[in-house]
Structure 1
Amino acid sequence: MNDTGAPLLRLMWLASPALPVGGFSYSEGLEAAVDADLVGNEAQAGDWLLDQLQLSLARCDLALVAQAIRAWQARDVDRITSLNAWADQTRETTEGRQQSMQTGRSLLEWLRNGEQGDDLRLLTLAALQPAPLWPVGFALATVLAGASPREALLAFAWSWAENMVQAAMKTVPLGQAAAQRLLARLAAAIPAAADAAAALPDGERQAFTPRLAILSAQHETQYSRLFRS
């Protein structure tokens, strides 16, 4: 891909549910929220996901992606290591940590097999402990794609939104028309969330979502479930 449209196409590829990282197998607590009767219809699902976007994603992983992009561009290994460690420390449950590690490792393998598989920054990504976590890996993938930071944040948030709406369709459950309305609600809120994440000072990045953490912990032993989180 050498034409001017290549960065956009690569970014669309990264945001696609077809990316082989297993994102479709996680609901990030939504399945447990449905089981607990906290989410039971389209309106409740929309409110739940908007809260998650604005109160969790924008303040944590989306902000982390923004800062990791700058670190990858500067080839600042110490900063990358610190951000990955912070991401690991702020996964509040076992399944949340496993999700970020599994998708991060899968993304690394996908990048290694791509056009820029010989980029030396992939060695840095592979060396991160305990694993390259998803937000840090996604940030590098967007840098390698040549995407602008803002477009990268929009793609990250949109990828999350599509996966979550797909999870809502299966767990609430919802039909296709309702799912499209949910995506429209999230799409309207994503630009502001991306801008807020990009502007968030390092000291204000946080991961405090107690209800989500409790639901995730309960989901680990939920009797009947479709998703891994």
Structure 2
Amino acid sequence: MPAAALLQLIWLASPALPIGGFSYSEGIEAGVEWGGIDSEARASDWIADQLHLSLARGDLPVVAQSITAWRSADAPRIAALNGWVLQTRESTEFLLQTEQMGRSFVEWLKLHHDDVAAQFEGLAVTITYPVAFAFAASRTQASVRDGCLAFAFGWAENMIGTAVKSVPLGQSAGQRMLGRLSAEIPAAVDRAIALDDDERQAFSPMLAIHSARHETQYSRLFRS
């Protein structure tokens, strides 16, 4: 990959990007309270399971398919993928997260690209985060696979940062967990890219229950 494309992907996937990703735990904080996440091993297993059972069967296929759709200017396809994400969020918190991060991502892109606003004019709904990320990735020279790898790694960094703060764990534990996730992400991405529309799914009932319980959790650091 050209150096410029690689650096763009690293930038787009960074948890430091000002789109609010660092403020969401995606169920981990509730998992600490009610799901038995009380150690490095359990936190690592939880995030790995979420990678394979949730992300790789839902958002990652959407990112892959959306990159292709953006590059071919297929507006109906983009709208359909975006609608699928909105319809399959299983809690209010998850829905608000993907809407807020998608909206913030688009606003951030407008600061760097004059033509971004025009690209979204034909879509009358809020752009979700996976579709917004795919738009940005589609404008680089990166392959679909590399775009998905970047998306997954950025997600993993956010999730591990959440676990470090909420379990809590040390920084060395976080790095060991990130090493494990880095080894498992490529296979998860390959499976995600191979999925057809009727194979995507967003069925993680216990994760949805934890997310719903998080809405009224007594003491919390994160927005989901």
Q: Is there any run of 5+ residues in structure 2 with no aligned partner, and where? A: none
- 1:158 counterpart letter in structure 2: F
Residue by residue, what CA displacement relative to the aligned partner does 1:19-66 show, whole Å, maximum 9, x if unpaired? 110100000000000011421100000100010000000000001101
Q: Is structure 2 residue 174 aligned with structure 1 residue 140?
A: no
**Pair 1:113-2:111 in alignment:** yes
Closer/same/farther in 2, CA of residues 156 and 186 from structure 1, 3 Å limit: same
- Displacement of 1:130 after TM fit? 3.4
Match of 1:54 among 52, 72, 77: 52
| Corresponding letter in the other structure for 1:118 | D
- Matching of residue 221 in structure 1 with residue 216 in structure 2: yes
Aligned ranges 1:174-193 → 2 under 5 Å: 174-193=169-188
Specify which of 157, 161, 185 is matched with residue 152 of structure 2: 157
Matching residue of 2:201: 206
Partner of 2:29: 31
Distance 1:199 1:129 in 2: 29
- Superposed CA RMSD in Å reads 1.4
Who is 1:78 aligned against? 76
Change (3 A) 1:127 1:25: farther
Asked if the contact 1:77/1:124 (under 8 Å) is kept, the reply is: no
Q: TM-score, normalised by structure 2?
A: 0.97
Amino acid aligned to 1:174 = L
Residue aligned with 1:145, SS: coil
Paired with 1:108 and 1:212, the residues of 2 have a C-alpha distance of: 27
- Give the 3-state SS of the residue equivalent to 2:107 in structure 1: helix
- Aligned-pair identity in percent equals 57
| TM-score scaled by length of structure 1 | 0.94
Q: How many correspondences in the alignment?
A: 224
What is the CA–CA distance in structure 1 between the aligned matches of 2:118 and 2:87, rounded to whole Å? 22
